[in-house]
Amino acid sequence: MCTAISYKTKDHYFGRNLDVEKDYGESVVITPRNFGFDFRFAKPLLSHHAIIGTAVVYDGFPLYFDAVNEKGLSMAGLNFPKNALYGSFLSTKENVAPFELIPYILGSCENAADVKAKLSKINIIHCDFSEQLPTTPLHWLISDKNSSLTLECTKDGTKIFDNPFGVLTNNPTFDFHLQNINSYMHLHGGITENKLSPALPFENHSLGTGAFGLPGDFSSISRFVKAVFVKENSVCGDEEKESVSQFFSILQSVAMPKGCVKTSDGKFEYTRYSCCINTDTQTYYYSTYYDRTVRKAELSAADPNGNRLTFIGI
């Protein structure tokens, strides 16, 4: 499970919690403009926008969990089990495997409008990376500094939603989250007003009572609501340090301590890492479960015109 958000102060920020039960050996990876992407079905992308994000690299191919390109377009894949259903090969479209989608989109698009145009021409096809790495069921949050999209492939086909909240978690499908959030429009950051009967002597005993009913469990439905509430009530200045700190605080409000979310095979999902990307400067901030120190990596740390991946330990 995971939570991803898009957030804006003076600059635009994008990031996520990666909630998993194991170590994938991931690291921050910079892909320069001239690193060639050889896709399984689509035409190779030999020259493209530079990218920085967290990935695991197998057989020389970066499998990005989340990333931003040099134009400020950002994207994250989140777990979408049982709902994700990818297509079969279509000769009338360009076929792209799910594990290729982040570099395919970020390599060639500059903003959300570009993404919509690109997605209308492709088919996201079921394809295992290898026998050891089967297809992962995902949906995606894609953001530029002005808007966000949610992309889902289900039994009903490929859907691109405008996402006015700039938030994505996991199941159910995004149209459910759009409907469900309406049940929480009464929440606010103040104290509860006496609406029941002004004649009765009700009294507030605590600050924060305006948020009575805000979900606090770790389900994807509840995390969506809580992330929207915390983000929308967030008060933050424009300075970089304050903005980054506030972004991590929002993510922390929906983070998973180990032991609270048990999988069917007896393991525990936990927030393995959190990241915050300043998409204007392509600065990638990150912290891990066992080291909450916020570190940073910058796209400019590597030659943008190079042809080799740069690895930065996470």
Cα–Cα distances in angstroms (integers) from residue 181 to residues 175, 211, 222, 223, in the given order = 10, 14, 10, 11
Q: How many CA atoms lie within 13 A of 31 on its CB side?
A: 29
For the record, the structure tokens of 221 come out as 């439905």
Q: For the chain, what is the largest distance between any 2 Cα atoms, rounded to a whole number of angstroms?
A: 73
2 is a catalytic site residue:
yes
Q: Do residues 286 and 54 lie in contact, with contact meaning Cβ atoms separated by under 8 Å?
A: yes
> Crossing angle for the helix pair 240-252 and 220-232, nearest 10 degrees?
150
Catalytic position from the list 2, 127, 153, 275: 2
SS (H, E, C) 161-215: EECCCCEECCCCCHHHHHHHHHHHCCCCCCCCCCCCCCCCCCCCCCCCHHHCCCC
Rounded to the nearest 10°, the torsion over CA 105, 106, 109, 114 is 50
Cα–Cα distances in angstroms (integers) from residue 281 to residues 70, 265, 302, in the given order = 8, 41, 14
The residues assigned a catalytic role are 2
